[in-house]
């Protein structure tokens, strides 16, 4: 049966490639982390991991035992209730039709925020190749071993959550993903400031409302009877002007194709305008000008970053649309099309299409958002939810749309309050109960479209916002996958972990009134690591 091959492709190959590229600084931590509690899992999957690794790595790279063990443990996270991979519909190859582009687009990089094919035309990408299953050992036993008991977890977690570094107010929930049963709860229904763990809710709403395969289009159109070219923003913050597009929608490609279309019409001089009317309301987040978020615009290039970076805080362009249109003008001129200085306009329904480019599937954007805690993508995703549900594409409309979409999914929203998609607003409120319910829903066989939420979570000690954590707590390295959250006085962590018996657990820890962010993060990391090492019966 081909199904396990797809599961392995999604779970094993990205981890092998990323670990191969980044493992050197982490080998010591990983070696310390793979003590007896991982031996059973490592032994059961090692032969399969070797085959998968040999299929994707250069011959000159040697995969070591610690790396293999970390890969094996991390692969267990793809269990996602042990049944997600068997949800339909299937095509003739045995792959879920909606997942073929998703899987193929990850050919080249690893874990989350993967590199992807530079071809974003409707015909691309091709179906993903098969890989040997690495989940046979873990997959067959995930629901046969007993889950941790409430009493044992209480004994373990109460002590760790009592760390003074977690401040005066903290809540926690641990849930068995396979059954949805709550195994531990402390203030489960108490709403707290979630910080960036809000992005988990945004991701669930976006994938549910717009779909994992949805792509965001940026267009260039010509107004009939005129020489006016309008650059129409579709809300893709990952549109890039870089020479190497790395699979993201390319402004250069759009300019090249637009120039070709104009020359075919014998036009070599045009009036250039730009259209940002898809979004309404204020572009500025309530926190004001901030290096963590550009003004929210339906048209921007490279998240309006001014230093060539791809993630992290940096000074942003004051008007992303003006900057994007200016770069588009430069690219057109380089192709022999003279333009006026771009100004704002609005494309009519009579406009003629010249060219368009599309983002990778929404699933890929969601992964990048979660891995890097990307606020620009988060606010774009909130507006995609609003657009998909017929609401205004602004902060209020996005927040209302997220709430409504989660309600449709039957999630516990008591006490929850959304004001944005990123979690930068301190008026946001979520409960630990809701965060774990979101993760369980992402592992529900009835909702395979939500699986990018699990695959996009940062991996402890390796990727995204967890890449530089767990240095002093190697026991969770490669095992904990979690979304981080940090605001002044607020530290949160929510994600999944495979315990010592191969059971997949979802957890959410929220702490407020913290005074030392580094100490609070370490306390949260130790608590998540305790779940990884726990049989807890």
**Residues identified as active-site:** 196, 199, 373
DSSP state of 218: E
Vertex 525, ends 522 and 526: CA angle to 5°?
A: 90
Q: What angle do CA 387, 359, 354 make, to 5 degrees?
A: 90
Which whole-number Å values give the CA distances from 179 to 147, 182, 214, 445, 509, in the listed order? 10, 9, 30, 12, 20
Chain-centre distance for alpha carbon 167: 29
Contact 362, 234 (CB under 8 A): no
Is residue 159 exposed (0-12), middle (13-18) or buried (19+ Cβ within 10 Å)?
exposed
* Beta-bridge partner residues of 293: 290
Does residue 455 sit in helix, strand or coil? helix
Q: How far apart are CA 438 and CA 413, in angstroms?
A: 11
| Pair of tokens at residue 470 | 């767990």
Which residues on neighbouring strands pair with residue 355, listed in sequence order?
220
Contact 82, 142 (CB under 8 A): yes
Length of the chain: 537
CA distance linking residue 326 with residue 436, whole number of Å: 44
- The DSSP bridge pattern shows strands 269-275 and 228-232 to be parallel
386: its two tokens: 């609003």
- 463, 371 contact by CB (below 8 A): yes
Cβ(422)–Cβ(428) below 8 Å:
no
3-state secondary structure of 231: strand
H or E element that contains 506: strand 504-512
The C-alpha atoms of residue 322 and residue 504 are separated, in whole angstroms, by 47
Per-residue CA distances from 125 to 120, 219, 273 (Å): 7, 21, 32
Q: Provide the angle, in degrees to the nearest 10, between the axes of the packed helices 13-22 and 3-11.
A: 20
- Would residue 200 be called left, alpha or beta, if left means φ above 0 and alpha means ψ between -120 and 50 degrees? alpha
Helices and strands in the chain, H and E counts: 17, 11
Identify whether the C-beta of residue 482 lies closer than 8 Å to the C-beta of residue 458.
yes
């Amino acid at each position: 049966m081909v199904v396990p091959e797809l599961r392995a492709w999604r779970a094993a190959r990205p981890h092998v490639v990323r670990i191969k590229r980044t493992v050197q600084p982490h080998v010591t931590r990983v070696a310390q982390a793979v003590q007896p509690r991982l031996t059973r899992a490592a032994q059961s999957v090692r032969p399969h991991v070797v085959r998968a690794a040999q299929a994707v790595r250069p011959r000159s790279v040697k995969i070591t035992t610690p790396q293999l063990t970390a890969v094996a443990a991390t692969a267990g996270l793809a269990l996602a209730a042990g049944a997600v991979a068997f949800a339909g519909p299937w095509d003739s190859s045995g792959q879920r039709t909606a997942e073929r582009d998703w899987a193929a687009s990850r050919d080249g990089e690893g874990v989350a925020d993967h590199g992807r094919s530079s071809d974003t035309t409707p015909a691309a990408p091709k179906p993903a190749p098969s890989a040997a299953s690495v989940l046979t050992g873990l997959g067959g036993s995930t629901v046969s071993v007993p889950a941790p008991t409430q009493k044992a977890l209480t004994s373990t977690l109460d002590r760790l959550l009592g760390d003074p570094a977690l401040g005066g107010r903290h809540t926690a929930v641990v849930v068995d993903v396979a059954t949805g049963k709550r195994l531990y709860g402390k203030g489960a229904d108490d709403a707290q400031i979630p910080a960036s763990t809000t992005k988990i809710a945004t991701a669930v709403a976006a994938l549910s409302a717009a779909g994992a395969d949805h792509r965001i289009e940026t267009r260039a159109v010509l107004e009939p009877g005129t020489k006016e070219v309008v650059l129409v923003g579709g809300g893709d913050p990952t549109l890039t002007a870089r020479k190497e597009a790395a699979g993201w929608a390319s402004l250069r490609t759009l300019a090249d194709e637009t120039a070709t279309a104009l020359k075919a019409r014998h036009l070599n001089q045009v009036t250039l305008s730009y259209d940002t009317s898809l979004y309404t309301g204020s572009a500025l987040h309530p926190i004001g000008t901030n290096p963590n978020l550009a003004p929210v615009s339906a048209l921007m290039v490279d998240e309006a970053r001014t230093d060539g970076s791809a993630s992290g805080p940096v000074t942003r362009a004051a008007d992303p649309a003006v900057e994007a249109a200016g770069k588009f003008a430069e690219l057109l001129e380089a192709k022999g099309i003279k333009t006026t200085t771009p100004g704002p306009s609005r494309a009519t329904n009579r406009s003629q299409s010249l060219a368009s480019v599309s983002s990778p599937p929404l699933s890929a954007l969601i992964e990048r958002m979660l891995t890097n805690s990307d606020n620009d993508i988060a606010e774009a995703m909130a507006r995609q939810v609003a657009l998909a549900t017929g609401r205004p594409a602004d902060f209020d409309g996005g927040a209302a749309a997220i709430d409504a979409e989660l309600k449709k999914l039957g999630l516990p929203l008591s006490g929850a309050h959304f004001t944005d998609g990123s979690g930068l607003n301190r008026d946001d409120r979520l409960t630990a109960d809701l965060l774990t319910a979101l993760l369980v829903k992402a592992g529900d066989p009835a909702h395979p479209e939500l699986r990018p939420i699990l695959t996009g979570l940062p991996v402890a000690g390796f990727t995204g916002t967890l890449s530089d954590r767990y240095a002093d707590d190697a026991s969770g390295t490669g095992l904990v996958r979690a979304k981080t959250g940090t605001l002044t006085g607020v530290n949160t962590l929510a994600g999944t972990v495979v315990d010592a018996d191969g059971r997949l657990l979802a957890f959410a820890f929220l702490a407020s009134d913290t005074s030392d962010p580094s100490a609070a993060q370490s306390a949260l990391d130790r608590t998540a690591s305790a779940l990884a090492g726990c049989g807890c019966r």
